[in-house]
Chains A and B, each alone.
Chain A
Amino acid sequence: MSYILFARWFGLISIILSLGIIFNLKDAREMAKGFVKSETGYIMGAVLPIIFGSLAFMHHHAFEEGPTLIIDIIGLSMILLGAYRAWFPEHWKKVLGEHIDIVPPMFALFGMMFGVILLYVGFISPLIR
């Protein structure tokens, strides 16, 4: 999978999920409360970010300038977030519990921002380069 395919794939996932969350915040908040206590939180907070992040980081380009830099940064940040959940579970639960109300909108916002830039990298940028 090239970085362009990854950008298209993950960009679409991010946008679709973010739109779902931002327009259904109540449902997302209930889910988030469940995450903190159950193993779903571990899957969503650690396993999936590490999988997606490492997939992105497979194309690591030593932070070269250009569209690949976006993929590198997103990959690295997801790996770090996942590792934080996996290595410091108590701290993660405490922080998430304190900010549980704003976690879903924040998640949706970051998802939208990642989605916009990834769709650009995947669909527009190859046309002009």
Chain B
Amino acid sequence: MLMLTQMIKTMGRTLLRLKFIFITFLATLLAGCDQKVTGILNPKGIISYEERILLFDSVALMLIVVIPVIIMSFAFIIRYREGKRTSAYKPNWGHSVFLEGFWWGIPCLIIVALGIMAWHYTHKLDPYRKIDGYPVSLKVQVVALPWKWLFIYPEQNIASVNYLKLPVNQQVQFFLTSDNVPMSAFFVPQLGSQIYTMAGMQTQLHLLATQTGTYRGLDSQYNGDGFSDMHFPVEVVDDAEMKAWFASVKNSNKTLNLSNYTKLRQNSIAHPKEFYSGVEDKLFMNIMHYYMGHGPLKFDN
């Protein structure tokens, strides 16, 4: 009787442990459901949408070989296990032109297909290429600073730091460079391509957001102490809200003159958002010229 009671107790404890393990396992699995899918897997722009298609199609093409190979690994294990004697025993068999052609031919075809896809999408999604069918409605000059992002809206003559606002369903052309910081990389994963910024040089990027919302922009190139805080929100809004924002920034009492810019180009980590109602004439161009040795930009330091 005592033994039976002990057995029941032991079984109860084991069941409790199993239940705990099962619940933990289930919770771990379901924890993923609560995570918001972000980045390139949840595109909100034309370019990122195409990039996701390229990513999935490439993986599927590679799986044509990978999945059959994994399945065949199990088939071989089962077929050639010790307990099973196969009828055919061919110790001198070593070569088959047909089979060689097959298992070299198929991967070669897949590589050719991948190559064609990569070539096609590389040209189609070239950051410098304007997106077909949409006129450029806004130009933004981007300067990577240590460790913050400066966004200049040249046509509106306003600027912001660590904050980017864009209109929905309108093509935006970015001109990018960097100042006083090593090479950086501008990247808004949910909108599209990453592009590098380099001192004395200008790179270009075209993006088109198709859905309003707030997305994460970041620097994806390690560039020093403040790298991990060099990110910014990208707010995509409708046309009316965009115009209202331009007007509100125009009312700001700060302007981005040379003196303010000199302060801005000093090192700072997790720099707060800032807005400027006016921008020094040809500032972006002069930042680039400064590194080419013939710029009129004179910094205080």
Contacts and interface: CB of A to CB of B under 8 A. Distances in A.
Interface of A: 19, 22-23, 25-26, 65, 99, 101-102, 106, 109, 112-113, 116-117, 120, 124-125, 128-129
B98 A99 contact: yes
20 contacts: A22-B72, A22-B75, A23-B78, A26-B87, A99-B98, A102-B98, A102-B99, A109-B68, A109-B72, A112-B71, A113-B65, A116-B60, A116-B63, A116-B64, A117-B64, A124-B56, A125-B60, A128-B52, A128-B56, A129-B53
Contacts of A106: 102
Nearest to B116: A65
A112 B71 CA distance: 9
Given A102-B98, A120-B63, A128-B52, A113 B75 contact: no
Interface string B9-20: 000000000000
A99 B102 CA distance: 13
B96 interface: yes
Contacts of A22: 71-72, 75
Contacts of B88: 101
Contacts of B65: 113
Interface in B32-74: 52-53, 56-57, 60-61, 63-65, 67-68, 71-72
B105 to A, nearest CB: 12
Judged by DSSP, the binding face of A is helix
Contacts of B99: 102
A117 B109 CA distance: 14
B270 interface: no
Contacts of A125: 56-57, 60
B106 A113 contact: yes
A75 B68 CA distance: 21
Contacts of A101: 88
Contact of A25 (B64, B67, B79, B106): B79
Contacts of B57: 125
Best-buried of B60, B65, B87 by chain A (most CB within 10 Å): B60
Contacts of B98: 99, 102
Contacts of A99: 98
A25 to B, nearest CB: 7
B294 interface: no
B123 interface: no
Given A26-B87, A99-B98, A102-B98, A112 B68 contact: yes
Given A109-B102, A116-B60, A116-B67, 15 more contacts: A19-B71, A22-B72, A25-B79, A26-B87, A65-B120, A99-B98, A106-B102, A109-B72, A113-B64, A113-B65, A117-B60, A125-B60, A128-B52, A128-B56, A129-B53
A105 to B, nearest CB: 9
- The 10 tightest CB contacts between A and B, nearest first, are A120-B60, A112-B68, A22-B75, A113-B64, A116-B67, A128-B56, A116-B64, A117-B64, A116-B63, A109-B68
B129 to A, nearest CB: 18
A120 B66 CA distance: 14
